């Protein structure tokens, strides 16, 4: 077994492992590895020429405070190679490599939070988990498909001034993220008054809200109810900024590991700080 930093020529082997473990759509996987794959920040375990375990990283920047961070995704191992310490080794090498290159944080959105606590990751940001039911036909008249992608970007810029720990995204970054959602068969809606937008991914039994921002609680609720109309169950669950104004449950969706002594995450106590977007 060889564990090493990935190289550009490992792209298709890494994509094959991603597809085998996560079962994402082919268009999304192709988009991710064309635009997000960063070999210099990623590590894999190889059995001959096959990647059997990996941890992928890519650079992002948080806003207010500004930190250079590595966003970790694609941490996975083929079932027959699990329980051999491969995940621990690939993740450990990724973190050490990021620290050596001067990054402030390593961040991830864990499916099993306790799994990453042993590696030093702790909850960083707060969000409000909210549930809504499908909108009526009358309510749906107040939402529309996004036709001008610049409008959601302006909304994101406006709200990022008051929400710490959003990712810094220029217009090109923002539009690339929307293309990422579209590659995963996502839908993008906005309120007709222009005060909010939502990106969500329809599924066989539910929809997954990837991103939702609005100025007022009324718009948040309308957008969630519009997304729920696409769910066979007629319900939707989403994680919104903690100060969205809707009733829900406080959750900690993003976990982080400090890579520098002067970055002391335990001193950050603002309970209304927003969650970091972009899990992939």
What's the CA gap between 228 and 234, in Å, rounded? 5
Render pLDDT for 33-77 as a digit per residue (tens, 0 to 9): 999 999 999 999 999 889 999 999 999 998 877 889 999 999 999
Going through the chain in order, the beta strands assigned E by DSSP cover: 2-5, 43-47, 50-63, 68-77, 105-108, 122-123, 127-133, 143-145, 166-167, 187-191, 196-202, 207-214, 235-240, 249-251, 255-258
Specify whether the CB–CB gap between 98 and 263 falls below 8 A.
no
Instruction: Write the DSSP symbol of residue 135.
Output: P
What's the CA gap between 249 and 94, in Å, rounded? 33
Render pLDDT for 230-265 as a digit per residue (tens, 0 to 9): 999 999 999 998 888 999 998 888 899 999 988 877
Specify whether the CB–CB gap between 153 and 179 falls below 8 A.
no
Spell out a b/e string for 228-264, using b for 16 or more CB atoms within 10 Å of the CB, else e: bbbbeeebbbbbbbbebebebeeeebbbbbbbeeebe
Specify whether the CB–CB gap between 124 and 252 falls below 8 A.
yes
The tally of CA atoms less than 13 A away on the side-chain side of residue 238 is 31
**How does strand 68-77 pair with strand 105-108?**
parallel
Specify whether the CB–CB gap between 147 and 268 falls below 8 A.
no
Question: pLDDT at position 176, please?
Answer: 84
Strand partners of residue 47: 50
pTM: 0.88
- Decide if pLDDT at 126 tops 90: no
Q: How confident is the model at residue 268 (pLDDT cuts 50, 70, 90)?
A: low
The tally of CA atoms less than 13 A away on the side-chain side of residue 270 is 14
């Amino acid at each position: 077994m060889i564990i090493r930093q990935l190289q550009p020529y490992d792209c298709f082997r890494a994509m094959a492992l991603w597809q085998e473990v996560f079962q994402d759509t082919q268009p999304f996987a192709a988009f991710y590895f064309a635009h997000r794959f960063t070999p210099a920040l990623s590590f894999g375990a190889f059995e001959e020429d096959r990647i059997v375990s990996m941890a992928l990283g890519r650079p992002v920047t948080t806003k207010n405070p500004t930190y250079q961070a590595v966003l970790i995704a694609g941490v996975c191992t083929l079932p027959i190679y699990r329980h051999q310490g491969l995940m621990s080794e690939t993740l450990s090498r990724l973190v050490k490599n990021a620290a050596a290159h001067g990054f402030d944080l390593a961040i991830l959105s864990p499916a099993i939070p306790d799994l990453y606590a042993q590696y030093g990751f702790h909850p960083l940001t707060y969000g409000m988990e909210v549930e809504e039911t499908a909108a009526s036909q009358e309510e749906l008249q107040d939402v529309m498909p996004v036709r001008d992608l610049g409008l959601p970007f302006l909304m994101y810029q406006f709200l990022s001034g008051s929400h710490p720990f959003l990712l810094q995204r220029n217009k090109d970054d923002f539009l690339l993220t929307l293309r990422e959602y579209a590659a995963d068969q996502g839908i993008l809606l906005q309120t007709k008054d222009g005060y909010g937008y939502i990106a969500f991914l329809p599924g066989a039994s539910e929809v997954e809200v990837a991103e939702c921002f609005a100025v007022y609680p009324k718009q948040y609720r309308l957008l969630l109810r519009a997304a729920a109309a696409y769910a066979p169950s007629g319900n939707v669950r989403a994680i919104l900024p903690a100060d969205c104004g809707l009733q829900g449950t406080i959750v900690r969706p993003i976990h982080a590991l400090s890579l520098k002594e002067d970055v002391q995450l335990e001193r950050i106590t603002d309970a209304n700080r927003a969650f970091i977007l972009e899990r992939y």
